[in-house]
């Protein structure tokens, strides 16, 4: 939604300031050189759900460990969902986030699939607005830096029986992050895994849940053992079509300039970046299709030159060029192994919008804080 969105009507988050908040000096040191996902701000937002009372006790509290009973359902049956988005500081000091309603809606859809309660979209948005306002000094200001926001929800009920939880916790934490590619964008190598799948028909592939990531880690380890950076999964039904990486969607650019990406089948995560890239490419006048893409087609296209570029996309790395594709029976460079022009252009277009360097014609940016 755009800046003209009406003020939020969601429940107020009560602020309990952290008495041990880091000093300005310590915070500035931490924000200056953040390693991804290792440094967190002074506060976190929380909302507690019970089957009897619904969502209650909206609060922003000091960041710190959660206390869980060893019999908490999430620790046994993995009833958990999460989201990932970023807050960007623009040149005038204002702070914005990108399409947060899309994340809020997906969070609710993921929760539904995992039989968790659905957090109202307004509460999701207000938790972000409130936490970023409280910890505004933690939003970095450098090139391609951001405050990574991680909303998540889990089954907190103390109960070992197998049924949907009657108690859940929603938590939002935030972590300042530096550029994903500190030395400039660098193509990654991809291992296409044959004997494992990330998700199957009717499963949880479209939901953003920790369990999908747990299932992707052994294949990811194998990809690394084969000298590749990341793993790409094939569809579980036929084992012939590209689905996505462990945490990023995938696009194929043909030599004629047309672009395709795997259609959403239920086992693919519907990325906000994927949708934004589709929009930008279509507006640029490209022929863009969502369809089944076989591995054979891509492999043959890399050999013949019919496939010019392959890239992955997601919030963390935005758009990542793929420079090499390998599996049990082939190992091929993509183009010359570098970053292709279509990949580079769409990456620049998207980051220019996110960092306020280009006009936001789509109403994708949501202002969190005014200029300072």
Chain contacts with ligand PLP (rule: CB under 6 A): 84, 208, 244, 247-249, 269, 271-274, 314-315
Shortest distance (Å) from residue 275 CB to ligand PLP: 8
Report the C-alpha gap between 198 and 211 in whole angstroms: 10
β 259-262/288-291 pair status = parallel
Q: Which is nearer to ligand PLP, 134 or 171 (CB)?
A: 171
Name the residue nearer to ligand PLP (CB basis): 130 or 315.
315
Q: What is the DSSP track for 15-37?
A: E---TTPPPHHHHHHHHHSPPTT
* Distance of closest approach, residue 249 Cβ to ligand PLP, in angstroms: 5
Compute the least distance from the CB of residue 225 to ligand PLP, in Å.
Answer: 21
CB of 347 to ligand PLP, least distance (A): 13
**C-beta closer to ligand PLP: residue 55 or 251:** 251
Question: Minimum distance from CB of 289 to ligand PLP (Å)?
Answer: 19
What is the torsional sign of CA 332, 337, 342, 346?
A: positive
Tell me which H or E stretch contains 41. Answer: none
For the bound state, the minimum distance from the C-beta of residue 199 to ligand PLP, rounded and expressed in Å, comes to 8
∠ at Cα 83 (87, 19), nearest 5°?
60
CB of 188 to ligand PLP, least distance (A): 15
Which residues make Cβ contacts (< 8 Å) with residue 139, sequence separation at least 6? 87, 88, 89, 95, 132, 146, 147, 176, 369
Of 15 and 150, CB closest to ligand PLP: 150
CB contact burial 151-175 (16+ within 10 A = b; e otherwise): bbbbbbbebeeeeebebbbbbbbbb
Residue 55 or 170 with smaller CB distance to ligand PLP: 170
Nearest-approach distance from CB 12 to ligand PLP, in angstroms: 28
Question: For residues 26 and 352, which CB has a smaller minimum distance to ligand PLP in the complex?
Answer: 352
Nearer to ligand PLP, 72 or 277 (CB): 277
Closest separation in Å from C-beta 262 to ligand PLP: 11
**Sign of the four-CA dihedral 103, 132, 93, 318:** negative
For residue 8, what are the contacts with CB-CB under 8 A and spacing of at least 6? 122, 125, 126, 129
Closer Cβ to ligand PLP, 248 or 325, answer by number = 248
- Rounded (10°) angle between helices 100-113 and 121-134: 130
Q: Which of 66, 60, 64 is nearest to 126 (CA)?
A: 60
In the structure encoding, which two tokens stand for residue 2, read together?
Answer: 């755009």
- For ligand PLP, which is the closer residue by CB, 72 or 269? 269
Kindly give, in sequence order, each residue whose CB lies less than 8 Å from that of residue 94, ignoring residues fewer than 6 positions away. 356, 367, 369, 370, 371, 372
């Amino acid at each position: 939604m755009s800046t003209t969105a009406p003020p939020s009507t969601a429940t107020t988050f009560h602020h309990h300031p952290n008495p041990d908040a880091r000093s300005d000096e310590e915070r500035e040191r931490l924000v200056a050189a953040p390693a991804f996902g290792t440094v967190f701000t002074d506060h976190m937002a929380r909302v507690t759900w019970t089957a009897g009372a619904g969502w209650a006790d909206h609060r922003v509290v000091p960041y710190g460990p959660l206390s869980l009973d060893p019999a908490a359902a999430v620790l046994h049956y993995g009833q958990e969902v999460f989201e990932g988005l970023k807050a960007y500081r623009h040149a005038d000091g204002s702070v914005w986030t990108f399409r947060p309603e899309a994340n809020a809606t997906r969070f609710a859809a993921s929760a539904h699939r995992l039989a968790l309660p659905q957090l109202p979209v307004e509460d999701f948005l207000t938790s972000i607005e409130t936490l970023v306002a409280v910890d505004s000094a933690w939003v970095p200001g450098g090139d391609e830096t951001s405050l990574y926001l991680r909303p998540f929800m889990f089954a907190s009920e103390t109960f070992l029986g197998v049924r949907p939880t009657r108690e859940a916790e929603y938590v939002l934490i935030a972590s300042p992050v530096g550029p994903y590619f500190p030395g400039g964008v660098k193509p990654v190598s991809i291992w296409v895994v044959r004997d494992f799948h990330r998700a199957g028909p009717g499963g949880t592939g479209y939901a953003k849940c920790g369990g999908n990531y747990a299932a992707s880690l052994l294949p990811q380890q194998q990809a690394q053992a084969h000298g590749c950076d990341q793993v790409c999964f094939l569809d579980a039904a036929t084992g012939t079509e590209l689905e996505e990486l462990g945490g990023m969607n995938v696009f194929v650019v043909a030599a004629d300039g047309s672009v395709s990406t795997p259609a959403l089948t239920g086992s693919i995560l519907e990325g906000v970046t994927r949708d934004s890239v589709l929009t930008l490419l279509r507006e640029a006048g490209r022929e863009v299709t969502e369809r089944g893409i076989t591995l054979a087609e891509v492999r043959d296209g890399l050999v013949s030159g019919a496939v010019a570029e392959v890239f992955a996309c997601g919030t963390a790395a935005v758009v990542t060029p793929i420079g090499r594709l390998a599996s049990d029976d082939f190992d091929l460079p993509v183009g010359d192994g570098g970053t292709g022009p279509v990949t580079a252009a769409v990456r620049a277009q998207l980051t220019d919008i996110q960092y306020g360097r280009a006009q936001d014609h789509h109403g994708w940016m949501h202002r969190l804080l005014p200029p300072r």
